[in-house]
Amino acid sequence: MAPALFHLFALLTVASAVGVVATKNAVTAAMSFLLCLVGVAGLFVQLDAYLLAFLLLLVYAGAVVALFLFIIMLLDTQGQKNWGFKKFPIFVSLIALGLLLTGLGTFVTRGQLDAPNPNAAGGVGAALKPYAYQLFTTYLLPVQVMGFLLLIAMLGVIVLSKKIDGVEDVK
Amino acid sequence: MIDFWSNLHPVVQGLIKGLAVIMVIFPLAGACSLAERKVSAWMQGRPGPNRAIVPWIAWIPFVGTFLQRLGVFHLMADGAKFLFKEEPVPGHVNKVYFALAPAIAMMPALTTITVVPFGAYFNAAGDAIPLVLANVDVGLLAVFAVSSLGVYSLILAGWASNSKYPFLGSVRASAQLISYELSMTLSVIPVFLWINAPGAPGTMSLAKVVEFQSLPGFWGGTWFVFLMPLSAFIFLVSLFAETNRQPFDMPESEADLVGGFHTEYGAFKWSLFFVAEYSHMLVGSGVFTLLFFGGWNPLPWISLADLVGWLHHATHAAWTIHPLFVGVLSLGIFLGKVLTLIFIFMWVRWTVPRFRYDQVMKLGWQKLLPLAIANLILYALAIAFIQKSAS
């Protein structure tokens, strides 16, 4: 039962991830991304990481991809031609490809991933308390930094979208 | 019978249970659409749907006429009409997404029911066992996560229709649903702060919330609507917005967008959107009942266990403590509360005038969200203080 479900969700994830980059229609790409997230959430559920799975759905699938679609629809990218390859994207893609191959190579040579330390995990999964405890102790600094980043981004949006009297619209 | 059931493969068991729940929720959602027409007619002082009748039932005196006046056969007539009507697909639409959108509307609406408990019975040890398809610990989070996927049906329907009004409707929908999700999520956090006492394992299970509202004693039996009226209010307002009900019917707004996101839809696809909307309302009302109105407890300070105990004491009959009877009783109480809430939904719809779009955004971001945050901070401090002084 479990391997079949794993294969189903793994196939869904990989196929829709390929769909994101392979399709030319921006809306189809966003919807494939959505399916990809659902697949990953399914994999998380099989790892008993229910909280992670549902947070992934709630935040990314529920809000972020919806905003992607929102913007794609507002910009209306239907009539755009393919941009073709430019130097910088090719350069970045090659670096990413190198990283991916290195990652796969280590995976193949070592044969397996490190087993997670069962003590460190502390019964994470369904229970919320270990998560909260970790977030407020071990990972307090990253959480604060992320919160600060989001605050800056939010302030930036407010400043950019606010109409200030006496200032010419910068365009 | 029991042996046959427990010998089935778990997957088959799950499928049968899931189908059974869908078989209840789907007609119930359909019945809500009839109730909507009847309630609106009642509020506007007109008879409402009262003509459809099956011939051989019309022959029964009194009962036949009564059912005809009640309009119950309009439900069947509507269903049959939607099934056999021609399916119009306009030439300018994106066919794949056009057909996909109503299906996507149904999926989250029906999936959320898996984690919503709808009743309880008592086992031999006297513990309340919730009636639920999947009693997962992340309960409410799962409801929020899956129901937030419902926005895609509106977005896709509007985009695939490839015409102005549906597009405007879907753009409004995506902005509105995401805005009110924040207040909704923030408004329920005090409830979970309260039930997650220090030392106990953390939970977001909806069944646990009801368990807390059926404890003995004055504070134990208090429904959370009395403890946290502001949370309940914010949740209810957000629920109206999340289910696109008037006064928040921006995605549809018949007044200025023809039919909003479903302008180009007809026949069965159109009815799927409506069944999905009513399913969302049913699940939303169910969650609201569980969180703030005591779930399957009949009255505040009177829990289901008390009621069953009294019944058993009064009648001395064995069937009063049979799990089947208790289960059906709790289900009846729960459904009664949910349907009352559905009636309130309709009551508001036909009483309050609809908002303008800028008013919806202003209410969501400038009134409800700060209120929800203030409410959360207040309750977090109060709960920390109470639990500190209690321990």
Of A68, A128, A157, which to mutate for an interface test with B (greatest number of B Cβ within 10 Å)? Answer: A128
- When scoring A27, A45, A54 by the number of chain B Cβ atoms within 10 A, the one with the most, hence best to mutate, is A54
Can you tell me the mean pLDDT for B83-104?
A: 84
pLDDT of the residue at A153: 93
One-letter amino acid of A115: A
Contacts of B146 in chain A (CB under 8 A): 57
Residues 6+ apart with CB under 8 A from B348: B240, B245, B246, B247
A6, part of any domain? yes
Question: Which of the four pLDDT bands, split at 50, 70 and 90, describes residue A84?
Answer: low
Cβ-Cβ contacts under 8 Å, B204 against chain A:
128
pLDDT, one tens digit per residue, over B166-186 is: 888 888 888 888 888 888 889
pLDDT of residue A77: 58
Q: What per-residue confidence (pLDDT) applies to A14?
A: 92
CA A19, distance to chain mean position in Å, is: 15
List, in sequence order, every residue forming a beta bridge with B120; answer none if it has no partner. Answer: B130
Domain presence at residue B238: yes
Is A126's Cβ below 8 Å from some Cβ in B?
yes
Q: What is the pLDDT of residue A117?
A: 52
Indicate whether A63 and A136 sit together in one domain. no
Report yes or no on B159 lying in a domain: yes
pLDDT for the residue A81: 58
Q: What percent of chain B lies above the pLDDT cut of 90?
A: 6
Record the tokens describing residue B151, joined without a space: 């926005």
Candidates A1, A66, A129; nearest CB to B151 = A66
Residue B87 in contact with residue B93, Cβ under 8 Å?
A: no
Mean local confidence (pLDDT), B68-86? 84
Instruction: Say if B14 falls within a structural domain.
Output: no
Q: How far apart are CA A14 and CA A20, in angstroms?
A: 10
Q: Are B214 and B305 in contact (CB under 8 A)?
A: yes
Same domain, residue pair A3 and A67: yes
Choose the mutation target among B95, B143, B155 for the interface with A, i.e. most A CBs under 10 Å.
B155
Q: What is the pLDDT of residues B358-390, one digit of tens each?
A: 888 888 888 899 999 999 999 989 888 888 887
Q: B130 in helix, strand or coil? A: strand
Strands (E), chain B: 119-122, 128-131
Q: How far is B147 from chain A (nearest CA, A)?
A: 8
Whether the CB of A132 is below 8 Å from some CB of chain B: the reply is yes
> In percent, how much of chain A has pLDDT > 70?
78
Interface contacts (A, B; CB < 8 Å): 80
Q: Compute the 3-state secondary structure of chain B and give helix, strand, coil in percent, each to the nearest 5.
A: 70, 5, 25
Please check whether residue A51 touches B, CB under 8 A: yes
Decide if A128 and B204 are in contact by the 8 Å CB cutoff. Answer: yes
Query: What are the chain B neighbours of A34 within 8 Å (beta carbons)?
Result: 152
What is the chain B residue with the closest CA to A65?
A: B152
- Give burial (CB, 10 Å; 0-12/13-18/19+) of B196: buried
Residue A144's pLDDT is 93
pLDDT reported for residue A122: 45
Quick one: which H or E segment has residue B257?
helix B254-257
Q: Read off the pLDDT of each residue in B305-333 and give the average, rounded to a whole number.
A: 81
Q: How confident is the model at residue A124 (pLDDT cuts 50, 70, 90)?
A: very low
Flag whether A44 is in a domain.
yes
Q: Report if residue B134 sits inside a domain.
A: yes
Answer whether A66 sits within 8 Å of B174, measured CB to CB. yes
pLDDT of A78 higher than 60: no
CB contact under 8 A, A34 and B152: yes
Q: Is residue A91 part of a domain?
A: no
**Total number of residues shown for chain B:** 391
Q: Of all residues in chain A, what percent carry a pLDDT higher than 90?
A: 20
Structure tokens at B29: 């959602």
Residue B317 lies in a domain: yes
- Nearest residue to B155 via CA among A69, A6, A24: A69
Q: Which residue range forms the structural domain that includes residue B299?
A: 95-390
3-state secondary structure at position B320: helix
> Chain B residues with CB inside 8 Å of A67's CB?
174, 178
- Per-residue model confidence as pLDDT tens digits over B222-250: 888 888 889 999 999 999 988 888 788 77
Q: Considering the domain boundaries, does residue B6 fall inside one?
A: no
Confidence (pLDDT) at B199:
63
> What single DSSP character describes residue B122?
E
8 A C-beta contact, residue A44 and residue A10: no
Contact B329, B308 (CB under 8 A): yes
DSSP label of B112? G
Read off the tokens for B99.
């057909």
Residue A111: per-residue pLDDT: 65
What 3-state class would DSSP assign to B299? strand
In the structure, what pLDDT confidence band is assigned to residue A99 with cuts at 50, 70 and 90? very high
Residue whose token pair is 């479990």: A2
Q: pLDDT tens digits, residue range A14-64?
A: 999 998 888 878 888 888 998 999 899 888 888 877 788 888 888 888 888
Cβ-based burial of B95 (10 A; exposed 0-12, middle 13-18, buried ≥19): exposed
Structural contact between residues B342 and B281, judged by C-beta atoms closer than 8 angstroms:
yes
In a domain, A102, yes or no: no
Q: How confident is the model at residue A147 (pLDDT cuts 50, 70, 90)?
A: very high
Domain count, chain A: 2
Q: Which range marks the domain in which residue A135 is found?
A: 128-162
Give chain B positions within 8 Å (CB) of A63: 148, 178, 181
Query: Which positions in chain A touch B148 (Cβ < 8 Å)?
Result: 57-58, 61-63
The answer to pTM > 0.90 is: no
Q: CA-CA distance, B280 to B276, in Å (whole number)?
A: 6
B214 and B304 Cβ atoms separated by less than 8 Å: yes
Residue B298 falls inside a structural domain: yes
Q: Over chain B, what is the mean pLDDT?
A: 83
How many domains does one find in chain B?
1
The verdict on A127 touching B (C-beta cutoff 8 Å) is: yes
Cβ of residue B97 closer than 8 Å to a chain A Cβ: yes
Structural domain contains residue A85? no
Q: How is residue A57 written in tokens?
A: 């759905």
Which of A55, A79, A103 is the endpoint of a domain?
Answer: A79
